[in-house]
A and B are shown apart, each in its own frame.
Chain A
Amino acid sequence: MRPALHWPSIRGRARADAGPLLLSAVVVAVVTFLAGAVPVALGDTADEAVQAAVRQAGSDADVQVQARWEYDDGSGGGRVRTARSAEALDDLRDRSLDELGPLGEVLLPPVELVDSPYLKIVNGAEPRSFRIDYVAGGSGPAVTWVSGAAPQPSVARLDVEAPFNGPPWPVQVGVSEATAARLGVKAGDRLQVEDDNRNPKDVRVSGVFRPTDPGDPAWQAAPWLLNPVHGRDGAGITRFGGMVSKDSLPDFRLAFEPDQTNRIVRFSPDPALLTLDSAQRIVSAVVRLKATSASSGDRSTESQWWTQLDTVLSDVQDQIDAATAQAAVLLIAVTTVAVLILLLAAELLAARRSPALTVARQRGAALPSLGLELLIESALVAALAAGAGALLSALFTGAVAAAWTLPVVLAGLLAGPAFGVVRAFRATRDRRVPANRGARLVARRTAALRRLTLELAVLAAAATALTLLNRHGVLPSAGGTVLLPAAAPALAVLTGAALLLRLLPLITGLALRQALRSSRPLAVFGAARAASASARPLPVLTLVGAAALASFALAVTSTVDRGLTDGAWRTVGADARLRVASDSVVTVPETAQRIAATPGVRHAVAAQVVDVAPLVVADAERPARLVIVDSAAYRALLAETPLPALPSLPAALSLPTASSPAAPNQPTASGPAVPALVRYAGGHVRTGDHLKLPRQAAPALDLVATGIAPAVDSSEDLVVVDAATMTAAGYQVVPDTIWVTGPGAGQAAAAHSGEGLVDLRAEVEASRRDAPLVTGLIRLAWASAAMLLALGLLGFALSASAGAPERWQTLSRLRTLGLRTSEARRVAAGELLPLALLAAAGGPLLGLLLIHLTVGPLSLRLLTAQPEAPPLVLPWAALTVLFLAFPAMVAAVVPLESALRRRRRLAEVLRVGGA
């Protein structure tokens, strides 16, 4: 039989309950918008992150192919001048383009390059170096010759053979106006340059050029051709460049040994063409390309591929995976609470409609008909609200992640009809409470068993999700799926809330017993009302869930925020860091002294940092970053930073004598062992272990771990030793790094930027904060926290509203016993306060316990750029707001309810039957 619909009832119910329906619609719309927009926005952000990572990687992301020149051995024992050298370079380019395959689609037009080794300019006091380069890319780089002419062949016969052991082969180069001015050269001049072995080179200036377009990408391959560059070849050294032409390229080759120059073709990726999807394909393509690459030791002319693009993309992919998973955690949290809110709203709606539904049933309305009527209403509301949310999502992000909106739309669609039908069924079913006590007991036990089963199911799901999260982390690459681990916080919160739901009646019962022993009537009535209301599951689950997950989201923001700061400190190690090339070391201690003397600088400490020191522990290679530093000065520097303190390093320790027992890890070499602070992520080395540091032409140096190195560095494996002790042990300490602290540190370090690479902590932190993924995740976490809090407060209002008729009915009856209006308000507050306090205190405690358990597996370190999970940071100010918000709702709701009820006379409230 087809269910009969009563349209006037549908319209009448919708009109009468427009408020709750509108509220449900707003929740559906807002959550649909958030859930529909965030994954899409994250996808866009992911594309931005890929592009930003590639941009930031600069030349590291370039794909470079290199090949030796064809042999040019001449019949006379010399080398033949290869007139078609440029064509040979073009051949490599064309061959490379074929080999690139799909990778070629995201790469800019290549730049062909031939780069000379380091040459020293011998005249003049200033330390200067010189490079000769051939650069060709597209149609450029185009130049205008302001004097002289483009480099010409140095010989008339183009295929001449250069004699073995002959004089330096002459080569003509063009120089830029800036270079010409700085070197004081003009067309026709010979440059006084020699190689590392002091072999002079015959380099002549053919002309002075002006670049047509200084922004031509080809110049990026050798920027020193346009302007002298400081610090590239060591502190205080300025690098100049001279450009050869297609015609003088053969002479350039003959001017150097055959293996001193190579054909290079460099492809820069076009960040604008990169997306997350294409990144995955590109990584595979690069891996394939590298697999086919000839090795660097290969003397054939095969292509050797080199690029860090795959590493750059893999790293950013990990970050995106982490951000996606973290966003999923937050979205699932918001969706869970939103679904609970919709259930709460549906429960309220069903309670309001109970009389009408009961009457409809008594008049013969079938349950399917009532269900269908309610479904039509909820479908209309849910469709309109979801449509509005989806429209907003489409407007803001251009698309809607429909799958994420399903839970909330389904809840909006089905909750109202389900609660309504159940209410109508219960109101009219012919089932009374069993008269005999045994039957009542069985009924109670059946209900308890049903509830326990449901709780155990949630507990099992939460335990599984948490185990997955802790074992595999949140990254899909590790666990295969992101959804269940990402749901772990929400499931765990539901489990915790279910536990609190068990506790609440015990607490309110205890409070009631205490109140009954007291002489305060209001306490008795308040506690009695609270005890009556404490068994309702939805309010507890919703409020505790919202508060817990809001605290969780807030803790994520504060932990990431602090992690970014800590990460920047660990990356730089101080307010500023100056790293200089190893061949300019003699100036480092002096530079450190000069920097230390700069106003605003508190500490400037020089150190030698060996990124991958080949340390050996018990015959096993344990490479680590080795920091050789004046430990006292370094300790003083660290003491003024948020970085952990440096434990003291004892003086050199004597090895055990031959008669004393030696530990298994102890070396057999004699001599004092250098004390070292050691930190290995894998825990391979413990205090007391010995480490060997191999040296060239000297016995390995013995280090002994005397303590744990503090986490002051971005490396996972770190060994810190004292410079003076190392020197005393015969190790030649060559400082190459200066750490600087103080308000003027950045400025002081920047002033010495010509001597090396300067890293400023503030800049590192700012750049990480501005990264699209970090910005996006922090915004989402804040938005989630705000929305969860708003949903929690809305849940409180709904819960209070659902209980209001019974509450004020009871209070009205108590008023017939003589309770005053003001006292009635206090009793009402007494009823609502336990739930509010449970949400305010239990929720945050649950949330913080959860973030404590999951902060590692959430992989926040991938966003904060820290080697380990960032330490948990509690957002006390925000938690205080959260704690106060729920009790504040009690203070707001009770007077409002009281004012609304006061409009109705006590007689109306209590009225039963006719007038």
Chain B
Amino acid sequence: MTKPIVEVRGVHRTFGAGPTAVHALRDVSFDVEPGTMVALVGRSGSGKTTLLNVIGGLDRADRGSLSVDGTDITRLDEDGLSRLRREKVAYVFQTFGLIPVLSAAENVGAPLRLARTPAADREKRVELLLDLVGLAAHAEQRPAELSGGQQQRVAIARALAASPRLLIADEPTGQLDAETGRSVMALLRGVVESEGVTALVSTHDPVMMALADRVIRISDGRLHE
């Protein structure tokens, strides 16, 4: 049996203290198998983003254990978490987060620069990824010259650039119209298969749920599969 790429055990996360405390995650436990696409579904304020942040090392759990690709991330310091993000985990955000003065290709190559990938390899990989997301013809365009859907495709290509084991996408279609959103979701589904990456995607979109291998529902910080 394959070892899960994400193992979450008894994770709690509370914001604030006393009577005003918000329990964002309550005793959350689940595993994610490698190479699968998992949809995390829930209403606003249910704890989706908190769970993704805790798994990706952007936030820390108050209690419980969490391992990503065999690494117990609750024990990692800031540098360890940075290394984790550089080598194993990638993110796609609702607001794309591209660097405006860099071209699409330069944005995609950014993680490779951080990883000190040689220029030739970097260029080859960028070309491949832009081709994968269907933007080979837009490589030299800047984010402002691209549509929202195109920008999100660049963001996905960037997330895949350093060949992460886990792709975390928080509402990746939140700022896109329905049709563009569906195409982005299809792209995500495609890259999971072609790149062999594991994707953990929070969404409200029923189409996305249909594309996922597994759907995890969350409400009031508790999981309901």
**Which residues of A are interface residues toward B (Cβ below 8 A)?**
509, 512, 516, 519, 521, 524-525, 528-529, 531-532, 809-810, 813-821, 905-907, 910-915
Contacts and interface: CB of A to CB of B under 8 A. Distances in A.
Given A817-B85, A907-B59, A531 B101 contact: yes
A418 B94 CA distance: 32
B170 A820 contact: no
B114 to A, nearest CB: 5
B10 interface: no
Contacts of A817: 85-86, 90, 110-111, 114, 158, 162
Interface string B36-79: 00000001111111100100101110000000000000000011
B207 interface: no
A519 B119 contact: yes
A912 B174 contact: yes
Contact of B53 (A516, A532, A907): A907
B83 to A, nearest CB: 7
Given A516-B106, A815-B85, A819-B82, A915 B59 contact: no
Contacts of B224: none
Contacts of B170: 912-913
A818 B85 contact: yes
B3 interface: no
A505 to B, nearest CB: 10
A813 B78 contact: no
Chain B contact residues, majority secondary structure:
mixed
Contact of B93 (A512, A813, A819, A914): A813
Contact of A913 (B44, B59, B102, B116): B44
B114 A912 contact: no
A818 B95 contact: no
Interface in B96-131: 97, 99-102, 106, 110-111, 113-116, 119
Contacts of A820: 78-79, 82
B171 interface: yes
B22 interface: yes
A434 to B, nearest CB: 13
B221 to A, nearest CB: 9
B33 interface: no
Given A815-B85, A817-B86, A907-B58, 8 more contacts: A519-B113, A521-B116, A529-B99, A816-B85, A817-B90, A817-B158, A907-B50, A912-B93
B171 A913 contact: yes
Q: Which 5 residue pairs of A and B lie closest in terms of their CB atoms, listed nearest first? A: A818-B86, A914-B44, A907-B53, A521-B113, A907-B59
A524 B171 contact: no
Contacts of B111: 817-818
A911 B102 contact: no
B110 A814 contact: yes
Contacts of A815: 82, 85
A915 B24 contact: yes
Contacts of B44: 913-914
Contact of B58 (A531, A821, A910): A910
A910 B58 CA distance: 9
B115 A912 contact: no
Given A817-B86, A819-B114, A914 B100 contact: no
A854 to B, nearest CB: 39
A444 to B, nearest CB: 12
B174 A525 contact: no
A780 to B, nearest CB: 44
Interface in B162-201: 162, 170-171, 174
Contacts of B50: 907, 915
A878 to B, nearest CB: 36
A906 B45 contact: no
A585 B45 CA distance: 105
Nearest to B97: A813
A913 B174 contact: yes
A821 B83 CA distance: 12
A913 B94 contact: yes
A530 to B, nearest CB: 9
Contacts of A519: 113, 116, 119
Nearest to B42: A914
B205 interface: no
29 contacts: A521-B114, A524-B102, A525-B110, A528-B99, A531-B101, A532-B101, A809-B97, A810-B97, A813-B97, A815-B85, A816-B90, A817-B85, A818-B87, A818-B111, A818-B114, A819-B82, A819-B114, A905-B59, A910-B53, A912-B95, A912-B170, A912-B174, A913-B171, A913-B174, A914-B43, A914-B46, A914-B49, A915-B48, A915-B50
Contacts of A915: 15, 22, 24, 45-50
A911 B170 CA distance: 9
Contacts of B49: 907, 911-915
A26 to B, nearest CB: 34
A818 B83 CA distance: 6
A610 B102 CA distance: 77
Contacts of B110: 521, 524-525, 814, 817
A528 B58 contact: no
A516 B43 CA distance: 42
B91 A816 contact: yes
Contacts of B95: 912
Given A814-B110, A817-B86, A532 B115 contact: no
Nearest to B103: A516
A152 B22 CA distance: 115
Nearest to B13: A915
